[in-house]
Structure 1
């Protein structure tokens, strides 16, 4: 417990903790995912999403639920969040990042020619050693379902190719196997890519779990078992007690709900409409029309992107409230509002709240405001670009995706 000075109700007192070093921070910021494990820094990510959303570029029965732990991926070189699951028979442990901004799940697989796969935490999954693995044929419905992420045929087996906003990519064979979420919760015929070539990945995660809204995602695959509602809580970096729940209760208490926006051109994405931003109890003078392009909620993107007009107003208000602390050099040439907290045992950070349509409010946790000693927001390219609600700002909230009812919910203090 720290000895905090008295402070206004709209501010928090927070014991200073050691932020990530600048080289590590730079790596994390470069490894953002849109629509999968990665996204380009700065405005390119949101421009990519905006192009998809704008078109440039059976009844479900919820029967049960399953919850598995989530944890920060810093020890594996990523600022995304990960789950540990079993793939194959017998089950082989695989650590996968969770991504609501993409659909195709994949793990690296043997055989993988030298330099074709990146170094990862666990041994490569070997489909030849699994009694339940099967590659999809080129004429299968599952192969056709890949659409633009299909990559033709090799040895009569369906091939996939997924490329991400920063140029990283994965390609290989598309097939199915048993997915063990827990010892008693098993998904048969889990569809995923067996990656035999990957480029541009700098972490040690074994693969990626696609939780997007299109047909290839785990959410769609399991809808008849768990229904089309899921939630997660992404914990602070100092803890590891988060969770991912498939079959989340859409009507659960304690959530602030906002309508979910979907696009026929880009069914992967779950959209929301930001209406206002408040800093230290004062609403920023930013017209709601600035946010008219909407934002996607993306667990695979680290830092939230705002329209430039909103970002500049937020930055100015935040700097004013943080004038007691000396400024520091920008982090990774991206985050431009950074502070030097050396010599301070506690820091007082202004509260930031995001208000969405129908009045849903996210009062951000302290870990969702500062990242490595910097204001954890970035601007999009233009005010007309689609924004992103990144995973840093989602920390400690249970974020509920209730697809059937068309809403996104936020419950504070869930982990």
Structure 2
């Protein structure tokens, strides 16, 4: 018989393991207030809490009342889902081409063009930074699916109106364009577009046909109270296809040009963000994030598609019960993406999820599909609804129990199925809501911490 101290140690180990193996509660049902899905006109006061040695800035939904950009009308669900379909399809094609048609996150070895970015119109979250000396406030979209950051600059041809004044390079004492012969210019590879007046030029063409081109440059970047010197970015002077009030884009991908890679020497190779549950609330972005207190799964990377951060989904639970899905169904891999809205699953996995979720929602009449969302319900006359829990199980045993706002979008299950089981899966931003999502690039892990915003 085990001694009392040994039994105590075993109990403590079991309790610790239970804590680190799950993110979120593990109840069978959650209550979702339908009022929480509505968009408020007011922005609640909330400040990002800075961490020692880290840079933390508030993060807002670009169409919500907290957004620094002039609020445009929220796109309707049909329009948003159509844009989202284009982005997801582009990402899947990119991985498929890199792997000679198979699309595996881990083993991509063929050359694939990195010139095309993903559609900007799906990006939903913005941060405010300062660029230049003196610093000029810029409101920028964030995207884990992009590496090259850029802002609109004077003079700018065909540039849409934006929230803040155009960045004027001639007014910054620390602005410096890269020469065509510089190593930084050569590093752009297919995103470089030659020279103009001996200055390095960049171009990014996105999956929706929009594009930005201009001078690749460096200047001082202010992230809250932190300063990043010699920040590399595109000074955009010609744009096409944009219809937005934001000032530019901040690339958080894994490539050499991204903000994360550039600041690794200062903040380390870990960053995190928390996407708020609704457009009326706030989250945060942190460079130099702490790596403890998270449920973690190994990060998968492709040397030929270095922008994206991959994970391995192993199983799905609905109402606390694991679905009967062969693990081989998930063999094509899955990526985390802040810009894709709806999570994409292999066809077999989605069919099992949809069936199980419908079985747990028998008390609500079915409703017609909304675009790619085909598991929908009639919540007429309801102020709140009771929904089965949905948990994602990743390699390493990490179990992530989704927030109620990460399960239902409008009146539909916020997941979609790929056309087959061979296409890349994508964990979209709806499912990431309220979690602090950690990208520990140096440690090779993706982490989740529930209830962070």
TM-score bracket for the superposition, by shorter chain length: 0.7 to 0.9
How far the C-alpha of 1:122 sits from its partner, in A, is 2.2
Q: Runs of 5+ in structure 1 lacking a partner?
A: 1-7, 33-38, 58-75
Alignment partner, residue 159 of structure 2 = 117
Instruction: Determine which of 100, 107, 117 is the counterpart of 2:144.
Output: 100
Cα gap change, 1:311/1:22 in structure 2, threshold over 3 Å: closer, same or farther? Answer: farther
Cα gap change, 1:106/1:288 in structure 2, threshold over 3 Å: closer, same or farther? Answer: same
User: Which whole-Å CA distance do the structure 1 matches of 2:366 and 2:402 have between them?
Assistant: 22
Cα gap change, 1:19/1:317 in structure 2, threshold over 3 Å: closer, same or farther? Answer: farther
TM-score, normalisation: structure 2: 0.78
Alignment partner, residue 378 of structure 1 = 416
Cα gap change, 1:142/1:102 in structure 2, threshold over 3 Å: closer, same or farther? Answer: same
User: Which whole-Å CA distance do the structure 2 matches of 1:125 and 1:380 have between them?
Assistant: 41
How far the C-alpha of 1:408 sits from its partner, in A, is 1.0
Instruction: Determine which of 245, 248, 253 is the counterpart of 1:207.
Output: 248
User: Which whole-Å CA distance do the structure 2 matches of 1:343 and 1:100 have between them?
Assistant: 39
After superposing the two structures, state which structure 1 stretch, 403-412 or 44-53, moved more.
44-53
How far the C-alpha of 1:97 sits from its partner, in A, is 1.5
User: Which whole-Å CA distance do the structure 1 matches of 2:334 and 2:366 have between them?
Assistant: 30
Task: Flag the structure with larger Rg.
Answer: 2
Q: How do 1:10-409 residues align onto structure 2 when only pairs under 5 Å count? A: 10-17=28-35, 18-19=37-38, 24-32=76-84, 40=86, 43-52=89-98, 53=105, 54=108, 55=110, 57=112, 80-113=124-157, 116-182=158-224, 184-237=225-278, 239-250=280-291, 252-253=292-293, 255-331=294-370, 333-409=371-447
RMSD between superposed Cα atoms in Å: 2.3
Contact 2:123 2:142 in 1 (8 A): no
User: Which whole-Å CA distance do the structure 1 matches of 2:198 and 2:447 have between them?
Assistant: 44
After superposing the two structures, state which structure 1 stretch, 167-176 or 48-57, moved more.
48-57
Contact 1:46 1:380 in 2 (8 A): no
User: Which whole-Å CA distance do the structure 2 matches of 1:409 and 1:23 have between them?
Assistant: 31
Q: Deviations over 1:83-124 (max 9, x none)?
A: 1111112211111121112111111222122xx223322232
Cα gap change, 1:185/1:9 in structure 2, threshold over 3 Å: closer, same or farther? Answer: closer
How far the C-alpha of 1:203 sits from its partner, in A, is 3.3
User: Which whole-Å CA distance do the structure 2 matches of 1:369 and 1:173 have between them?
Assistant: 42
Contact 2:122 2:340 in 1 (8 A): no
Alignment partner, residue 72 of structure 1 = none
Contact 2:194 2:201 in 1 (8 A): yes
For 1:216, what is the secondary structure of its paired residue? coil
After superposing the two structures, state which structure 1 stretch, 272-281 or 95-104, moved more.
95-104
Cα gap change, 1:240/1:355 in structure 2, threshold over 3 Å: closer, same or farther? Answer: same
How far the C-alpha of 1:240 sits from its partner, in A, is 2.9
Q: Deviations over 1:122-155 (max 9, x none)?
A: 2322222222211111111111111111111122
Q: Deviations over 1:324-362 (max 9, x none)?
A: 22333433x222222332211111111100000010111
Contact 2:274 2:285 in 1 (8 A): yes
Contact 1:46 1:381 in 2 (8 A): no
Alignment partner, residue 48 of structure 2 = none
For 1:170, what is the secondary structure of its paired residue? strand
How far the C-alpha of 1:199 sits from its partner, in A, is 3.0
Cα gap change, 1:108/1:399 in structure 2, threshold over 3 Å: closer, same or farther? Answer: same
For 1:173, what is the secondary structure of its paired residue? strand
For 2:156, what is the secondary structure of its paired residue? coil
Q: How many residues align?
A: 378
Contact 1:298 1:390 in 2 (8 A): yes
Cα gap change, 1:99/1:189 in structure 2, threshold over 3 Å: closer, same or farther? Answer: same
Cα gap change, 1:144/1:79 in structure 2, threshold over 3 Å: closer, same or farther? Answer: closer
User: Which whole-Å CA distance do the structure 1 matches of 2:324 and 2:260 have between them?
Assistant: 39
After superposing the two structures, state which structure 1 stretch, 116-125 or 48-57, moved more.
48-57
Q: Runs of 5+ in structure 2 lacking a partner?
A: 1-25, 40-72, 99-104, 113-119
Contact 1:256 1:360 in 2 (8 A): yes
Cα gap change, 1:156/1:396 in structure 2, threshold over 3 Å: closer, same or farther? Answer: same
Cα gap change, 1:266/1:187 in structure 2, threshold over 3 Å: closer, same or farther? Answer: same
Contact 1:84 1:95 in 2 (8 A): yes
User: Which whole-Å CA distance do the structure 2 matches of 1:268 and 1:173 have between them?
Assistant: 22
Contact 2:123 2:141 in 1 (8 A): no
